Amino acid sequence: MNILDLFRLDGRFAVVTGAAKGLGLAMSEALLSAGANLAIIDIDADAARETAKHLSSQYGRTVHSYAADLSDETEVRNISNQLIDDVGRIDILFNNAGITYHAPAESADINTWKRVVDVNLNAVYLLSREIGRHMLESGGGAIVNTASMSGLIANVPQPQSAYNSAKAGVIMLTKSLAVEWADRGIRVNAIAPGYMKTEMTHQLFAEGGPMIDRWMSMTPMKRPGEPQELGGIAVYLASDASSFVTGAVFNIDGGYTAV
């Protein structure tokens, strides 16, 4: 057997959230490259539609796009039902959508705190529950959650207790679902990226300054990650190459959490 065959995703259907740009887009491209069929979900309907059109043209396969606020239970249930009606079977789910928020803990706005937790943690649970139920009925699947090294350490110098707490919750949710579903055919894992250069942070890194200098001084590789550097782990966790892997958290952080 050719070991590389284990990484192929031909004939499998993947759903990636927050995939109109950034990390979600990079992981979507990796899954398509490995042969998967794809649907993307984003809160921005126009961006999702344009990204799907671009990916379809690039990879020669239909890419479905959907828009939803994944922190809303009714919208999650509706979009999950629509997906299953449209594509029949979902084999891979990447819960990637997320937002961040910087504010001192003593003055953070509670409504913004709740929104960060809703998008970064509750949405992961809601979609995992709905798609997980489908996977249990159809024979299994793979779920991958985008956590963060911020779920393992408290970042400095930026104050982001809401984000850190939500991402720590994603890590424990990953382990909990993995244990519940391990003998029922669903593997659940998480990735924990470090500081990544995306559309959202590109200008920040380009301008530099004390905060960027501190981040990079604490990162042994002395640079931020590029979105495409998540492609390998995305394909690995979605594929049979990781068939005995569940409940794991993979740090992709240039060595930040190893120090």
Alpha carbon distance 221, 254 (integer Å): 5
Catalytically annotated residue among 66, 101, 125, 163: 163
| CB hemisphere CA count around 89 (13 angstroms) | 12
Alpha carbon distance 101, 224 (integer Å): 20
Q: SS3 sequence, 24-79?
A: HHHHHHHHHHCCCEEEEEECCHHHHHHHHHHHHHHHCCCEEEEECCCCCHHHHHHH
Note if 195 is an active site residue: no
Residues with Cβ within 8 Å of 248's Cβ and at least 6 positions away in sequence, in order, are 178, 189, 190
Q: How many angstroms separate the first and last alpha carbons of the chain?
A: 39
Alpha carbon distance 208, 226 (integer Å): 17
Catalytic residues: 163
